[in-house]
């Protein structure tokens, strides 16, 4: 198969779906995973196929080690190659809790899904990418981690989420350093407040904050905003920038007086 293949975790909804759409438009075939049964993602999968992509959906929770192995095996069986990994799948705390009251159970869940899962999925995929690179010098790989402005912006009612995303940022640097010799760039895309099912419950709150000047660009971000940034990295538009952080936050994190 000559087309490049991208695995987008959590690629059937929200930010992940926006990323998958942009990659499909750029001519990549797609493997996407999530925790829903296949029937629940039939519509987004059909939309991606309508953009010209072959689409493989695997029901797999990235927090589960055996599911990660099964996911990579399914991609190998279907496509025989993997050029791009986008670590996007993540969860927020349920419920949010002040760090004086937060539980170890919530902390462990977020670390498993948001940090440990993508870290070890990257390990598995990177080994395969190295094999492909050694077999074919023309092989062009890329790994993109989706973090959050919560990497550096403290929210004391979801400390577990902030810590998990800060870990993703360091993981990006670690993998960039380790995979440089194999010419496999690793990037971090750091979204701000993005309109998705994860933020739907806070719509009123952020609508008001945008009116008060929360971000320099006074609007919600969209999954497509994130997808366009990922697509540029995957195309190789930033080929000499491994380890780079791309902000997609409308200027929210710029310090202002």
Quote the pLDDT of residue 198.
Answer: 81
Please check whether residue 160 lies inside any domain of the structure.
Answer: yes
CATH of the domain at 93: 3.40.50.720
Q: Do the beta carbons of residue 5 and residue 29 sit within 8 Å?
A: yes
| H-type alpha helices, 80-211 | 104-110, 117-135, 159-179, 203-211
Residue 253 falls inside a structural domain:
no
Tell me whether residue 254 is in a domain: no
Q: Is residue 38 part of a domain?
A: yes
Structural domain includes residue 256: no
Q: Is residue 257 part of a domain?
A: no
Phi-psi category of 251—alpha, beta or left, where left has phi over 0 and alpha has psi -120 to 50?
left
Residue 179 to residue 227: CA distance in whole angstroms = 23
Structural Rg of the chain based on CA atoms: 18
pLDDT value at position 200?
85
**Which two structure tokens, joined as six digits, stand for 32?**
């996407």
| Model pLDDT, residue 130 | 98
| Domain annotation covers residue 207 | yes
**Neighbour count for residue 118 (Cβ, 10 Å):** 31
Contact 185, 239 (CB under 8 A): yes
Asked whether residue 125 is assigned to any structural domain, the reply reads: yes
Work out how many domains the chain is built from and give that number. Answer: 1
10-residue stretch averages of pLDDT, the chain, 257 residues long: 92 98 98 96 98 98 98 98 98 94 97 98 98 96 98 97 98 98 98 91 93 96 98 98 98 96
Which sequence positions are flagged as catalytic? 161
For residue 94, the model assigns a pLDDT of 87
Host domain of residue 76: 5-248
- Give the pLDDT of residue 194: 97
């Amino acid at each position: 198969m000559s087309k490049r293949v991208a695995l987008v975790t959590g690629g059937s909804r929200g930010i992940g779906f926006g990323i998958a759409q942009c990659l499909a438009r750029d001519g990549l075939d797609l493997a996407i995973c999530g925790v829903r049964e296949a029937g629940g993602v039939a519509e987004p999968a059909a939309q991606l196929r309508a953009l010209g992509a072959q689409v493989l959906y695997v029901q797999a929770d990235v927090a589960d080690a055996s599911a990660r192995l099964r996911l990579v095996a399914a991609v190998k069986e279907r496509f025989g190659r993997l050029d791009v990994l986008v670590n996007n799948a993540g969860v927020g705390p349920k419920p949010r809790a002040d760090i004086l009251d937060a539980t170890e159970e919530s902390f462990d869940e977020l670390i498993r899904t948001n940090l440990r899962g993508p870290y070890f999925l990257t390990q598995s995929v990177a080994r395969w990418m190295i094999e492909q690179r050694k077999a074919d010098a023309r092989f062009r790989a890329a790994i993109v981690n989706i973090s959050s402005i919560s990497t550096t912006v403290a929210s004391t009612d979801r400390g577990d989420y902030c810590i998990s995303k800060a870990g993703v940022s360091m993981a990006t640097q670690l993998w960039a350093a380790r995979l440089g010799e194999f010419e496999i760039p690793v990037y971090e895309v750091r979204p701000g407040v993005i309109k998705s099912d994860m933020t739907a419950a806070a719509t009123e709150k952020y609508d008001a904050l945008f009116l008060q000047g929360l971000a320099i660009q006074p609007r919600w971000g969209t999954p497509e905003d994130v997808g366009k940034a990922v697509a540029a990295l995957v195309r190789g538009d930033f080929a000499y920038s491994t380890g780079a952080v791309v902000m997609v936050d409308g200027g929210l994190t710029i310090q202002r007086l």
